[in-house]
Amino acid sequence: MTGGSQDDETGRERRDPDALIARAGVRGDPDQDQHFLVDDRVLDRLPSYATDAGFDTGHVLEIGAGTGALTDRLLAVADEVTAVERDPTLAAFLREEFADDVDAGRLTVIEGDALDVELPEFTCSVSNLPYGASSEIIFQLLPHERPLLVMVQKEFGERMAAEAGTDDYGRLSVTAGHYADVEVVEPVPKEAFSPPPAVQSALVRATPRDPEYTVPDDEFFLEFVTAVFTQRRKTMRNAVRNTAHISGLDDPDAVVDAADEELMGMRAGNVTPAQFAALAELAWEVGEPT
């Protein structure tokens, strides 16, 4: 799985992930959502998935840097890296292990929870995310309109990338697709991590682009989609009526009466993002959202 240090394509010696864990004197803690990526092959491919897609690696944001195995690979392709790590012991280790890069201004280590700290301006983000917080982190990053390459739970990644009419399609698909083209680029087995997680993982790439539709208000659109998907087994007619307390509509009946009858007979899992957008625009106009 892992081996000794090797040189990358730039001649920089790659740090061995197992050796980093040993030097840090730590073990991954599943209770703290700590699963260190230790497969050299996956680690070495990660930067390529970003650079091959044309990501601007001028300033790479890494969330959940751990012992720095991915940080090391990112420093080989980036002008500057900001690594966010919530574990104080690991944050201190990163500053010591990569002292030369810190001193050169190429690496900044931020200690704290990515959801709480002030994030810098960045050109792309490449991260092995803590799975428990991956949804919140991703949807904090997507509005920045910067490319993302993230390691997530495989099921979560497949839902992000799913299309209407498929089993995996849902609120997550519409919301992620509102900001970016999303694709699963590689499944990653449990054995690539130490300790192995209970689930399979996947690398997901999100490339920002404007949606092929317009909405009256981003926040309302996403809340409206979220609301309707809480009743995905109901027809859209019933879902719109039953979730006004979530979507904030004062007059959901007016929306149902004004909407296309065929659309109102569909279920959320078969409604395309563009259809959701058109319905949200109608709801904005006649539903009296608060």
Question: Contact 57/80 with Cβ under 8 angstroms?
Answer: no
* Rounded alpha-carbon distances, angstroms, from residue 277 to 191, 213, 273: 41, 7, 6
Determine if residue 245 is labeled as part of a ligand binding site.
no
Nearest-Å Rg of the Cα atoms of the chain is 21
* Cα–Cα distance for residue pair 36/54, rounded to 1 Å: 27
Helices (H), ranges, 118-271: 134-141, 154-161, 171-179, 218-229, 236-242, 244-247, 252-258, 261-264
Determine if residue 64 is labeled as part of a ligand binding site.
yes
Phi-psi region of 153 (alpha: psi -120 to 50; beta: other; left: phi over 0): beta
Burial 62-80 (b: 16+ CB within 10 A, else e): bbbbbbbbbbbbbbbbbeb
Among 271, 250, 269, 248, which residue's Cα sits nearest to residue 260?
A: 271
Question: Contact 90/65 with Cβ under 8 angstroms?
Answer: yes
Determine if residue 37 is labeled as part of a ligand binding site.
yes
Question: Contact 49/77 with Cβ under 8 angstroms?
Answer: no
Determine if residue 163 is labeled as part of a ligand binding site.
no
Question: Contact 174/273 with Cβ under 8 angstroms?
Answer: yes
Provide φ and ψ at 17, rounded to 5°: -65, -35
Determine if residue 35 is labeled as part of a ligand binding site.
yes
Residues placed in the known binding site: 35, 37, 64, 85, 113, 128
Residues of the binding site for S-adenosyl-L-methionine? 35, 37, 64, 85, 113, 128
